[in-house]
Structure 1
């Protein structure tokens, strides 16, 4: 694995001194489609003097991410990268369907074999950034912006965490579950207790919380309260024990479970789905805390949340203070395409594709 430090000069404003980790086998074409490698060999043999312009685009309204990573890739693995002419948008730019986000001009044999890798970087990073952006936007439907914790560590291969965390940051989430997720933008992960900690104390939420607080007294005290499937009762137990020290409670009830609050009062379960984390449960939890004077205790929810579900909670003004979201943010739903559209400065592309200049693109200097 090779670390590449990106230092770009030019009028385009970028995050500088960022370190990307690349597999050195990229240089050997190990991750490139074989037909790109064959085309590179033919270009070297008989078309060395041709200059092509390749442009990259996608087909959605999206939040662009991956430009810095792509430029670092080109800097390290293209032949004579300083001689290429590159124009690019920036990470975090809002882009429209078919809008050109990057162009590269130069001899095909110097960079063409990187086309598929560039598409893949843009696709993953932009998908995650856009997913997070949409979830963060949904978490403001009721007026106040609710923070969103990026909890995608268990939903994909661990090697993706740094890039996904950066894309989530670009999309609007600066609270993330692991240190690796914050590696590219300079913070550390955050978190409190998992269900496993409560299990170690035989399900005793108060004793588990005492142990946590004794070990991490400077951390904000946020307690997971669904272990016994009795969120309200357990939230009140820890609130009574810790008072002002308790910052928040987190509800993560499985969508196959019905909380004891409803099982004890079956008459409440006629007009809605009582399983999992639902608005009725959260309203009841808020009321129970407030009734005993614990108005300061915030409510965090997690477990299967996505843009649609958060919007539903917000439209009902559910008293949620923070959302934890994982798997839905990692859906890769935006695909990028790289097309060679100019040959020696003249239009030349496959049928249906053409050069689409974008005045928003800015020149990037690689030195």
Structure 2
């Protein structure tokens, strides 16, 4: 990865109004009812795994931490809120508002699973409530795209995968998508803005329009090779891949050899990629160009990449776009932000669907591993309790596991304390490296695309009793 530029850039310079209207109406309600100093605890977690997969790669934390640093309301924003009917005394409160929360979270790049808190926010009820929309928007989207990228890279194995998705992204979401894709293991991006701001590797060659703009394909290839002799990848499917594109690419490759250079590769962007890559490899090898790489693109995702490699298609590089940056198959991660306690009193939300009944109280998450450091499962326990001896299935307590002899580690770490950022947010390279390290410790059964094994998540007896007792009181 390239050097990350250090100028003062944030994704949103003024994020206070990047929220849903009801966050502000609730905040004013808390203020007017004299509850602005009530202390609250919220949990962020998701319910369902995307892409019919077995895990999620946690991403977006570094952007969130950066955006929250300096969170405040500006005068033109307060004027706008006044026009919407907010009361002067509440606006005066917002005028002096400086975010003061404590955040514990899993590290960016962590492998996380349904129902377990990946992030905990504590502070006054207005400060914690007002973050909900911003937090969900960032963490849900970036975790979704990082997970999709990770699946694509897992399918590709040692083959390179590049992000070509900016033009197909939903607006400026392409900025976050390219960063999240890099956390998920994508090696380079066509997105120059994200490459510049995040220290990613930029990559790209030509579009069909370059070739069409010249009088013939051979001339177009020669011109490009003249300007980029050491980074020449030619798009060979503008007219006739086998009878024109590849033969013309071979001519240019030979011309480059005479000049002391080597052509880097060709790219296929249409048709039967397995068939055309085999034909291309044969033509290139016959011409003595076994060093020329074959790149492919065109609506690729993890399953198509897996299929191509299962067919032994001689492909060296995959360019992924639409199905990466849109989270194809799962358009959104259903992460939620739920109240867990107010003034140290545990709270829960009850649902007819038992899986949507939330876990009350301030909690921590323990990850259990065996002697070879392979993840065995996670335990959700009350933050103040000692590590439990037994972890129970959240809904079927007859299913339980003795964890007294199993090593564990806490998943949630402090990142902000009383409004102060404790450390510099991790770089993309650091988060990507951490994701790879953690993924290596996950059993293969959870990684497969077809019917992945369900990762075990349990709760402590104290947490289960607290939830059940509160449920009975509410009913």
Alignment deviations for residues 189-246 of structure 1 (CA, whole Å, 9 cap, x no partner): 21111101100113x22211111122334x4110000001324642122213322422
The alignment's C-alpha RMSD in Å is 2.1
1:257 maps to none
- Counterpart CA distance in 2 for 1:187 and 1:115 is 29
Q: Which runs of 5+ in 2 are unaligned?
A: 50-54, 73-96, 351-356, 366-409, 422-475
- Counterpart CA distance in 2 for 1:169 and 1:116 is 24
Whether the 8 Å contact between 1:150 and 1:324 is mirrored in structure 2 is: yes
2:21 maps to 34
C-alpha spacing 1:156/1:111, structure 2 compared with 1 (3 Å) = same
* Match status 1:320 vs 2:346: no
C-alpha spacing 1:215/1:89, structure 2 compared with 1 (3 Å) = same
Equivalences for residues 1-367 of structure 1 within 5 A: 19-24=9-14, 26-27=15-16, 29=17, 31-45=18-32, 46-59=34-47, 60=49, 61-77=55-71, 79-81=97-99, 83-140=100-157, 145-202=158-215, 204-217=216-229, 219-231=230-242, 233-243=244-254, 244=257, 245-253=262-270, 276-330=271-325, 331=327, 332-351=331-350, 352-355=357-360, 356-358=363-365, 359-365=410-416, 366-367=420-421
C-alpha spacing 1:231/1:191, structure 2 compared with 1 (3 Å) = farther
Count how many residue pairs are aligned between Structure 1 and Structure 2: 321
Question: What is the TM-score with the length of structure 2 in the denominator?
Answer: 0.64
- Counterpart CA distance in 2 for 1:110 and 1:121 is 18
- Counterpart CA distance in 1 for 2:251 and 2:240 is 19
Whether the 8 Å contact between 1:164 and 1:181 is mirrored in structure 2 is: no
C-alpha spacing 1:240/1:214, structure 2 compared with 1 (3 Å) = closer
User: What is the deviation of 1:18?
Assistant: 7.8
Counterpart secondary structure, 2:122: strand
User: What is the deviation of 1:363?
Assistant: 0.7
Is 237-246 or 306-315 further displaced after alignment? 237-246
Q: Which runs of 4+ in 1 moved over 6 A?
A: 15-18
- Counterpart CA distance in 1 for 2:152 and 2:200 is 21
Whether the 8 Å contact between 2:40 and 2:128 is mirrored in structure 1 is: no
Counterpart secondary structure, 1:21: coil
